[in-house]
Amino acid sequence: MRANCGCVRLNALSVGTCSAVPGAITYGALEGVPLPTGGADMLAVIIAQGRTSGPVFWLTANIHGDEVAGIAVLHRLLNSDIVDHLRGTLVIIPSLNPAGLRTHRRHPYYDDRDPNRTFPGVRKDDDRLREPTVFERLSARLFESMKETADYYIDLHCASILSIPFSIRDRVLYHDESERAAAEALSARLDAMVKAFGFGAVAEYTAAQYIAKELHRSTTGAALQELRLPAFAVELGSHTVSDESNVAAAVIGLRNVMRWAEMLDSPNEAMPPLPMPPDARTRRRDDGPYSSLAGVLDYRAAPGDYVLSGGVVAELRDIWGRPVGEGTIRTTEDSWIIGLEDGVLAYPGAAIAHIGLVDEAPLVEPWPR
């Protein structure tokens, strides 16, 4: 892995058929999944390079095919004069999942795995001997390109239909005590990068949940845990549609991160008002509250609300409108509501919302065993 020094020679960077040209925006493609009907999916690649050396900043979107707002963010970021002010290089892939984009589905039709759990990283014990899937093979090639060039990385996502924009900051995990000091330094760098972006932020699930859900094999999880790059994910609100206010705010956020990384010299832009957590305490992403009964939900809380422990998130009724059980689903902890589950149906044991919970656990931890 190259050192994070921003020292790549300006004329030496290529991804697929796209090669950087100082002072220009260039266009090309990286060959994707080969198709049995001939040809292959192609991942569009854009490289914008300034005339002076600086960091290499990777930006991607649409790893889930129905999460489309990030594409508009990346297109808007690339205004015609960006390279006149840029120090270093932007590597942009607007869609990591063109098959899902075409079919408007979260997963590509040729691989059953969540594409955002296919990047290199520690596999589960019962998963280590199988052959890599078709998307895992593509993710491994993308990962190698990033390994060769990247200094920073942000991946753009969307959450549930009713959700707010926010950033997700992973915990930095380490295997051996000798790695701890470097992990602490990386964590501090990541905190500063997330703060520069300017959205409300949550830490990822607990370390044990994180590994169980294979989030260390997500785009930014693999970049952080394997490549040790400052990397995080941004959620841009609703999937399926592109929310204008969230798109505009994310473009500002990316430019401000570039200023933080000393890729742009202009003053920071003011972020428009966004939903924020109620205080500065660290919060982790979690799911809940959970329904213990089946029924139809009538939500009483909205994304962005802060609901104290015991507060009502939704009323629960049967299809005739009669209360089911106690007739309400309540929080068990003080909860910042970052999104509601799509639809209005509740099933036993299923979460009805996505929440941010106060979390005092360290953001740098040993790898769970």
User: pLDDT tens, 348-368?
Assistant: 999 999 999 999 999 999 999
Looking at the fold, whether 237 and 101 belong to one and the same domain comes out as: yes
Residues 43 and 93 sit within 8 Å (Cβ to Cβ): yes
The band of 10, judged by pLDDT with boundaries at 50, 70 and 90, is low
Going 287 to 124 to 234 to 69, the CA torsion angle's sign is negative
The band of 125, judged by pLDDT with boundaries at 50, 70 and 90, is confident
Cα 128-133-137 angle, rounded to 5 deg: 100
Number of structural domains the chain divides into: 2
Q: What is the pLDDT of residue 11?
A: 57
Give the Cα separation of 201 and 68 in Å (integer): 21
| Whole-prediction pTM | 0.96
SS3 letters for 91-122?
Answer: EEECCCCHHHHHHCCCCCCCCCCCHHHCCCCC
Question: Which domain-ending residue is among 229, 260, 291?
Answer: 260
User: Residue for token digits 């960091």?
Assistant: 55
Does an H or E element contain 147, and which?
Answer: helix 134-149
Bridge partner list, 31? 42
Looking at the fold, whether 199 and 309 belong to one and the same domain comes out as: no
In a domain, 72, yes or no: yes
Looking at the fold, whether 292 and 227 belong to one and the same domain comes out as: no
Looking at the fold, whether 216 and 310 belong to one and the same domain comes out as: no
User: Residue for token digits 């292959």?
Assistant: 40
Looking at the fold, whether 201 and 312 belong to one and the same domain comes out as: no
- Residue 104: CB atoms within 10 A of its CB come to 11
Provide the residue range defining the domain that includes 218.
Answer: 14-260
User: pLDDT tens, 138-148?
Assistant: 999 999 999 99
In a domain, 367, yes or no: no
- Reduced to 3 DSSP states, what percent helix, strand and coil does the chain have, rounded to the nearest 5? 25, 30, 45
